[in-house]
Every structure is written in C-alpha cells, then in structure tokens.
C-alpha cells in the first residue's frame, strides 16, 4: 500500500467513523428516549433493545455514512489544497478515489454478511421487546401448499419450532385422497414431525359395495422437509424481513410450489444489490468536486451533495417498498433502476474523470 493510499484512507476512515457514530447515536438515542416509557423495566431487555435497534439502524446509516464521510473528506482535502498538490505531483484522479471505493465495497460486503445472520431480524426483535412479546412468538391460522399437500397450522411457534392443531390434505389432480389431523408437530432434523396423527384415506376407485374409507394412526409422521419455522413466520407476514439465507431457502421452496416469490426476491435484491448504489454516487460526487478551493463554493457543493445523496437513497427505498407490496415486479423496480444508475454514472465518469 502506497503512502498516498494510506493517507487518503486515514482521512476517509476518520471522517466515516465520525459520521457513522454521530448518526447512530442520534437515531438510536432519539428512538430510545421516545419509547423509554414503553420498554420493560428489565435492564437486560433494555440493553437488548439498544443492541437490536443499533444494528437495524446500521443497515440504514452505514451506506449513508460512507457517502457523507466521502463528502467530508473531499471538503477537507479541497480546503487544504491537498488535491491540487496531489495532481501537481502527477497523481491521476483514479488513484485519488479508488482506495475509498474499494474500502466502501468491503464494508458493504461485511454488512451483507451480517444480514445473512439472525441479526437480520433485529427490527422484529426490537419490536417484540417494545410490545412486551420478546419471549412470546405465535402466528395463527397459517395455510400453505407443499407439493401435493395443503397444510393448515392453527398456531405456529417459530422460536420453539412447533405447531398446534395441524390439518394436512393430500390433493392429486384436484381430488382429495388423504387427510391427516394431529394436535402437535415439531420441526427437527430439517423436517416436520407430526405427533399422533390420524390418517384418513379415500379409495381411488369408489364402489358402493366394496369401497371403504381407511382410518389409521401414526405416532410419528414427517413432512415439509426443509421448510423452516422462521420461513413460515416471515413469508406470511406482510411487513416481515428476511435474513439472506432464509430468503434463499424460502425462494427455492416456494418456487417449487408455484407460489408467488416477488416479496422474497425484492428482499434479496434490496439487501444484496441495491446497497451498492452508493459506489456510483461517490464517483459522481467526486466528478463534480473541484481541485482548487479558490473558485469553488464549498458550502453549495456540500449541501447539494448531501441533498442528492438523500434523494437517491429515498428513490431506491421507495422502489423497494413498491416491489415489497407487489405493486411492481422486483426486477423492474430494483434491478432495472440499478442498471440504469450504473450506466448513467459510467457516462459521467467517462466525461468528467476519464478524459
């Protein structure tokens, strides 16, 4: 690593951490004081609330802090006439911003990896603490399709990985051929075990004299292999979130069942791809900066850069909401705008920087 790269990264990372800590303290602090009266008296739960809220806020503040830190770094370098000195020494513009883009890309990858862990459910967990339901997690009246089976869970306990009052109906070619009724089921070894199941089978060929309904009992009956309770919990919740691993698992399973996966695809695109919208944004901001502070309005540059950053982030966030509620296909509302955004930034790069 060259001395120039170390110097720029030192300046940038210092600005980035100052902005990130400031935003985190602001948003987490405001939220905590607003909801302090509704929080449980337990100090442990309050600390957990702060922890979950901090990570949830981090998913919003980290991308913005990367851009705001870059704006602050540029202002410092321009005011100190350091950019002019670097260019006078023969340093290309690409060498000035490339270390910042690389470290930002790395930090975004770290954020994506964290969203593949249970921390992705931070918003849900902090909401449960606020509603005094942290140790209670129940979903009612869930109906789903799995291969030839239509399954009804009257109550689902995702954390405990169990369900109550289960009704399973096997349908082949629109013909009901079997029903399974049980009071309990547990998720173990990547499959659901139905306990003390009553199985009722209808004969294939119905004959008035010889046909009869067969009724049997099974102590253990497994089904829904690979369908995790957390996936069930989130797929049927309109405002739920997904970890990346759970989202991929749900996408594969629901796609096989022919169930609409727009919501899950939107969550994956937003968590994995849309976060990288800030990289072209940082290049565009650098392209419209100046090397010399003498004929450059730094105040106007800073204000417009922050405004442009918030507007861009708001547009992608709004498009995510449109795709999440089914208004637009995620490929149209997220992937296409990201492609157009990178295309636009490439033309600006070729015109303003690479010449």
- Write out pLDDT tens, residues 132-183: 766 666 666 677 776 677 778 888 777 677 888 888 888 877 777 888 888 8
Report if residue 120 sits inside a domain: no
Report if residue 255 sits inside a domain: no
Q: Which residue has the tokens 């981090």?
A: 58
Report if residue 40 sits inside a domain: yes
| pTM summary value | 0.78
Tell me which residue range forms the domain holding 192. Answer: 133-228
Kindly give the confidence (pLDDT) of every residue in the chain, 355 residues in length, as a single tens digit, with 9 standing for 90 and above: 688 888 899 999 999 999 999 999 999 999 988 888 888 888 888 898 999 999 999 998 999 999 999 999 999 988 888 888 887 888 787 888 899 999 999 999 999 999 888 888 888 888 888 877 666 666 666 777 766 777 788 887 776 778 888 888 888 777 778 888 888 888 887 777 888 888 888 777 666 666 677 788 878 777 767 666 656 555 555 445 677 887 787 777 777 666 677 788 888 888 889 889 999 999 999 988 887 777 788 889 999 999 999 999 999 988 888 887 767 788 888 999 999 999 999 998 888 776 5
Distance between alpha carbon 227 and the CA centroid of its chain, in Å? 20
**Pair (288, 198) in one structural domain:** no
**Pair (50, 153) in one structural domain:** no
The residues, ordered by sequence, that sit 6+ positions from 89 with a Cβ below 8 Å of its Cβ are none
Report if residue 266 sits inside a domain: no
Report if residue 261 sits inside a domain: no
146 closest CA partner among 262, 227, 261, 201: 227
Angstrom CA distances, 181 to 108, 178, 215, 216, 352, stand at 47, 10, 11, 11, 68
3-state helix, strand, coil in the chain (%, to 5): 60, 20, 25
Q: Which residue has the tokens 């490929």?
A: 331
* Crossing angle of the two packed helices 93-114 and 43-79, in degrees rounded to 10: 170
**Pair (108, 139) in one structural domain:** no
């Amino acid at each position: 690593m060259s001395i120039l790269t170390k110097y720029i990264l030192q300046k940038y990372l210092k600005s980035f951490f100052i902005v990130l800590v400031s935003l985190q303290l602001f948003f987490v602090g405001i939220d905590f004081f607003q909801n302090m009266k509704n929080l449980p008296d337990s100090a442990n739960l309050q600390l957990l609330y702060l922890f979950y809220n901090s990570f949830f806020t981090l998913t919003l503040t980290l991308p913005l802090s990367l851009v705001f830190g870059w704006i602050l770094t540029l202002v410092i370098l321009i005011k100190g006439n350091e950019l002019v000195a670097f260019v006078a020494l023969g340093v290309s513009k690409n060498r000035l911003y490339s270390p910042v883009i690389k470290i930002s890309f790395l930090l975004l990858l770290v954020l994506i990896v964290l969203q593949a862990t249970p921390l992705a459910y931070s918003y849900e967990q902090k909401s449960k603490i606020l509603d005094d339901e942290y140790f209670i997690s129940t979903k009612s009246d869930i109906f789903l399709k799995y291969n030839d089976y239509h399954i009804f869970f009257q109550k689902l306990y995702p954390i405990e990985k169990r369900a109550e009052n289960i009704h399973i109906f096997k349908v082949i070619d629109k013909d009901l051929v079997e029903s399974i009724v049980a009071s309990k089921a547990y998720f173990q070894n990547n499959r659901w075990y139905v306990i003390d199941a009553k199985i009722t089978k209808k004969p294939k060929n119905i004959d008035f004299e010889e046909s009869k309904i067969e009724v049997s009992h099974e102590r253990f009956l497994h089904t829904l292999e690979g369908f995790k309770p957390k996936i069930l919990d989130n797929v049927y919740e309109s405002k739920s979130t997904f970890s990346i691993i759970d989202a991929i698992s749900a996408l594969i399973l629901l796609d096989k069942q022919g169930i609409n996966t727009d919501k899950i695809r939107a969550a994956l695109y937003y968590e994995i791809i849309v976060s990288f919208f800030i990289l072209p944004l940082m290049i565009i901001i650098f392209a419209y900066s100046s090397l010399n502070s003498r004929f450059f309005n730094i105040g106007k540059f800073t204000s417009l850069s922050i405004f442009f950053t918030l507007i861009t982030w708001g547009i992608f966030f709004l498009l995510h909401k449109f795709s999440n509620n089914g208004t637009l296909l995620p490929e149209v509302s997220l992937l296409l705008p990201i492609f157009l955004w990178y295309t636009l930034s490439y033309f600006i790069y070729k015109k303003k920087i690479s010449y």
